Amino acid sequence: MSQLSAWDHPEPLALATAPLPEYGTGSLADLLPTLAAGMGVPGTTAAITELAPVDRACVFLVDGLGWEQLRAHPDEAPFLTSLLASSRGGTGRPLTAGYPATTATSLASVGTGLPPGAHGLPGYTVRDPATGALMNQLRWQPYTDPRAWQPYPTVFQLAHEAGVHAAQVSSPTFQHTPLTKVALSGGTFHGRLSGEERMDLAAGQLAAGDRSLVYTYYAELDGAGHRYGVASDTWRGQLMYVDRLAQRLAEQLPPRSALYVTADHGMIDVPFDEEHRFDFDTDWELSAGVALLGGEGRARHVYAVPGAENDVLTCWREVLGEQFWVASRDEAIEAGWFGPHVDERVYARLGDVVAAAYDDVLIIASEREPKESALVGNHGSMTPVEQLVPLLEVRS
Ligand SMILES: [Zn+2]
């Protein structure tokens, strides 16, 4: 086929070409169950077979630290770079975040040990089938009962019930949020403002039990990437700080323990022009027949006006199909984007059409999402740059 005829008859991206998260063998959801299984916690499975059991495990989750961004900045992260060879038990491989690669979804995957199709936080914003309105999963707005939304116990709860010392060390801001409740509850939450205090406290919590499962978190690398871009001076400064934090924690590990540095997703910069940013709010083709636009720029849930589902799918595929994987809800479920199984209560939270970016492009919404539409760095889709996250190991 000549170049010209390919241009005349654009082929939508085949859904089979989307690189799926490694649910069940090497995704974020597999990390805590693997660590807990190594401590003998009932109801957990060691899915990541490269990780040797350890009595005390601490997970340090750095928001937005993608595997590819870390690999590209060895000078800013000498300590983390020195750990790359130990990644995934020495195989030098990353984990996959899960779809979509976004904070609320990934934190729920980490804490529950379940893929998004089961824990039910499958996007930045999704439709609440009970109200028909969009719900922001990160801010938990509008409020809905967290226990009904995500009914499974967290791995911390399972560990706590099994006599393992479980603790979370994060910003005090997150102590009482519904997202913390559904994703991270079990054991005790310790709020500390500075990164250094969190590292020191995490090391202390690790030493507090014969068997311990500790989680700690740092947010600001992600914020720097969103505002200024990956590889901006601010982002690189944050990476240097994160590197020092990880080393500080590693140097305080008590005996029989391991530190795992990981992340919730990577990030990609998207140019500010109309070829890279499709504006849903001014594009009559994309907005025709759409009742609600959910998700985020690189991972959209599109909720159609009843009866318009097929028209919306056809149109989105025609307009965006060369640069996005565009699937119907059932196609995305069938392909396993949200995990091997989607719970019945989660089904209607997913878009009638699901669009995942392949190129460095976004579907912004300049009027309904002015803040999000102005971000430089973005994430959400299945490309390696946003999907792959490190799993770096330090053992005492
Ligand atoms: Zn983010």
For position 5, what pLDDT does the model report? 44
17 falls within a domain: no
Q: What is the CATH number of the domain that holds 314?
A: 3.30.1360.180
Q: Are residues 232 and 275 in the same domain?
A: no
Size of the chain, expressed as the number of residues it contains: 396
Confidence of residue 93 (pLDDT cuts 50, 70, 90): confident
**Number of neighbours of residue 374 by Cβ within 10 angstroms:** 12
Q: DSSP string covering 98-133, please?
A: -SS--HHHHHHHHHH---HHHH---SSEEE-TTTSS
Ligand 1 centroid vs 6 CA: distance in angstroms? 36
Q: Are residues 242 and 283 in the same domain?
A: no
79 falls within a domain: yes
Q: What is the CATH number of the domain that holds 172?
A: 3.40.720.10
**Tokens matching residue 113:** 């040990």
10 falls within a domain: no
Ligand 1 centroid vs 52 CA: distance in angstroms? 31
Q: Are residues 247 and 208 in the same domain?
A: yes
Q: Are residues 254 and 290 in the same domain?
A: no
pTM assigned to the model: 0.96
For position 3, what pLDDT does the model report? 42
Ligand 1 centroid vs 343 CA: distance in angstroms? 26
Ligand 1 centroid vs 103 CA: distance in angstroms? 6
DSSP single-letter state for residue 390: -
22 falls within a domain: no
Q: Are residues 219 and 350 in the same domain?
A: no
Range(s) of the domain holding residue 189:
28-269+383-395
pLDDT per position as a tens digit, 187-206: 999 999 999 999 999 999 99
Which of 245, 264, 190 minimizes the C-alpha distance to 394?
A: 245
Instruction: Please state, in angstroms and rounded to a whole number, the distance separating the CA atoms of residues 200 and 169.
Output: 10
Ligand 1 centroid vs 173 CA: distance in angstroms? 17
pLDDT of 103 above 70? yes
pLDDT per position as a tens digit, 105-146: 999 999 999 999 999 999 999 999 999 999 999 999 999 999
| Residue 324: strand pairing partners | 357
Ligand 1 centroid vs 388 CA: distance in angstroms? 14
| Residue 364: strand pairing partners | 279
357 falls within a domain: yes
Instruction: Please state, in angstroms and rounded to a whole number, the distance separating the CA atoms of residues 128 and 120.
Output: 11
Ligand 1 centroid vs 38 CA: distance in angstroms? 31
Confidence of residue 16 (pLDDT cuts 50, 70, 90): confident
Q: Are residues 170 and 251 in the same domain?
A: yes
Instruction: Please state, in angstroms and rounded to a whole number, the distance separating the CA atoms of residues 218 and 249.
Output: 13
Ligand 1 centroid vs 122 CA: distance in angstroms? 15
Q: Are residues 146 and 276 in the same domain?
A: no
Confidence of residue 11 (pLDDT cuts 50, 70, 90): confident
Determine contact, residues 358/380, Cβ cutoff 8 Å.
no
Q: Are residues 351 and 388 in the same domain?
A: no
Number of domains making up the chain? 2
DSSP single-letter state for residue 48: -
Q: DSSP string covering 359-381, please?
A: SS-EEE-TTT-HHHHT-SEE--S
Ligand 1 centroid vs 189 CA: distance in angstroms? 23
Ligand 1 centroid vs 222 CA: distance in angstroms? 5
Ligand 1 centroid vs 238 CA: distance in angstroms? 14
Ligand 1 centroid vs 226 CA: distance in angstroms? 7
Q: Are residues 359 and 261 in the same domain?
A: no
Q: CA Rg, the chain, in Å?
A: 21
Beta strands at 188-191 and 165-170: parallel, antiparallel or unpaired: parallel
**Number of neighbours of residue 92 by Cβ within 10 angstroms:** 10
Ligand 1 centroid vs 282 CA: distance in angstroms? 25
Which of 103, 105, 126, 102 minimizes the C-alpha distance to 115?
A: 105
Which of 14, 10, 13, 49 minimizes the C-alpha distance to 33?
A: 49
Ligand 1 centroid vs 54 CA: distance in angstroms? 31
Ligand 1 centroid vs 233 CA: distance in angstroms? 18
Q: Are residues 283 and 259 in the same domain?
A: no
Ligand 1 centroid vs 63 CA: distance in angstroms? 7
Ligand 1 centroid vs 20 CA: distance in angstroms? 20
CA dihedral 194, 214, 257, 67 (to 10 degrees): -70
Ligand 1 centroid vs 268 CA: distance in angstroms? 10
For position 10, what pLDDT does the model report? 62
